């Protein structure tokens, strides 16, 4: 059987996970903040109403997550000004108890990312970008700092930059994003030379897009004890059951998840509804996330723009799909 079909008996979807061998613990479900502050792909502009909804989502997620809540962002989310990072900083300071200096006494874990822009060549560019993210986040250290995608060049320098970030105390753990099996092996080896574990690789992964099970990425993560962080685990809404061939997503997403695409998704959604009904009426979104979390090496970071979305997302833990159900879902 393929990697994705391995037996996972005894794994709880609700278990807190460690990011690779880094020692950093995170809840199985984090919140992806790609849409926060964004004005083109996810939102038709960004205003007070959008911010209020995101704030409510932030607060409810913190309240609903019993251990190790975390948020994933990036320096380019919300535009080149890092608006997503700034919003997270604002929400942390509004929500959490502070000391006399105005610093939060406790906070959720934060993961952010370095953009491999063509004019960035050196390890110092990674350190400088990390420091700029920390300034926007109003933090002294992030919990996970990631290379957002492989660069056209300078990738060895970028990996050396991750080493510097850890050695300078700017990040507890470091990872990659959108790295292939071969690039993962290279990154793992180079960081290992410095005695630093490659904590994670963040990739597009869902019941609908299961390429990491086929291209060696999930297997390589398992081989080296690297956490696979699944972004778009709900296929940008296509697996929520909210959309169908007669009701496509608005804006740019509707050109990707169009009528033809959603028609092909219908058999999977029908099975997800059937499986959810067998577990007390779980939704398609909850089934989709629980299926991925049956694998202990996987965490998921669905996006959430409102407290209603957070409420549904958090219903993906606290119960278990059967292994046979997961295998059936992966076959469709």
| Contact criterion met (CB below 8 Å) for 322 and 265 | no
Cβ burial of 203 (10 Å; 0-12, 13-18, 19+) is buried
Query: Is residue 145 annotated as a catalytic residue, yes or no?
Result: no
CA distance 118 to 127: 16
Q: Which residue has the tokens 């956490």?
A: 227
Q: Which residue has the tokens 């990425």?
A: 217
Please, what is the Cα angle at 23 between 204 and 207, to 5 degrees?
20
Q: What is 52-105 written as a DSSP string?
A: HHHHHHHHHHHHH--S--EEE--TTTTSTT-HHHHHHHHHHHHHS-B-TTS-BS
Active-site entry in 77, 145, 205, 231: 77
Residues with catalytic function: 77
């Amino acid at each position: 059987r393929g990697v994705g079909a391995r037996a996972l008996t005894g794994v709880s979807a609700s278990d807190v996970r460690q990011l690779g061998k880094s020692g950093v613990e995170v809840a199985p479900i984090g919140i992806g903040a790609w849409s926060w502050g964004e004005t083109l792909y996810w939102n038709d502009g960004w205003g007070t109403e959008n911010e209020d909804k995101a704030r409510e989502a932030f607060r409810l997620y913190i309240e609903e997550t019993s251990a190790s809540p975390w948020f994933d962002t990036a320096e380019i989310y919300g535009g080149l000004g890092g608006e997503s990072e700034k919003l997270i900083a604002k929400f942390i300071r509004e929500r959490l108890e502070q000391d006399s200096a105005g610093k939060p006494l406790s906070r959720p874990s934060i993961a952010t990312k370095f953009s491999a822009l063509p004019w960035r060549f050196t390890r110092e560019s990674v350190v400088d970008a990390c420091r700029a993210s920390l300034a926007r986040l109003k933090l002294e250290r992030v919990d996970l700092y990631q290379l957002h995608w492989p660069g056209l060049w300078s990738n060895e320098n970028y990996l050396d930059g991750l080493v510097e970030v850890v050695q300078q105390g700017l990040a507890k753990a470091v990872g990659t994003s959108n790295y292939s099996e071969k690039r993962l092996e290279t990154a793992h080896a180079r960081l290992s030379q410095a005695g630093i574990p490659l904590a994670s690789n963040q990739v597009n992964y869902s019941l609908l897009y299961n390429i990491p099970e086929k291209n060696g990425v999930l297997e390589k993560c398992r081989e080296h004890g690297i956490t696979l962080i699944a972004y778009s685990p709900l296929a940008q809404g296509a697996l929520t059951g909210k959309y169908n061939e007669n009701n496509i997503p608005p804006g740019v997403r509707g050109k990707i998840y169009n009528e033809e695409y959603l028609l092909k998704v219908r058999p999977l959604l029908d099975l997800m509804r059937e499986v959810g009904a067998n577990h007390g009426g779980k939704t398609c979104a909850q089934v989709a996330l629980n299926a991925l979390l049956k694998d202990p090496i996987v965490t998921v970071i669905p996006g959430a723009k409102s407290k209603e979305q957070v409420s549904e997302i958090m219903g993906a833990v606290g119960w278990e799909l059967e292994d046979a159900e997961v295998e059936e879902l992966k076959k469709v």
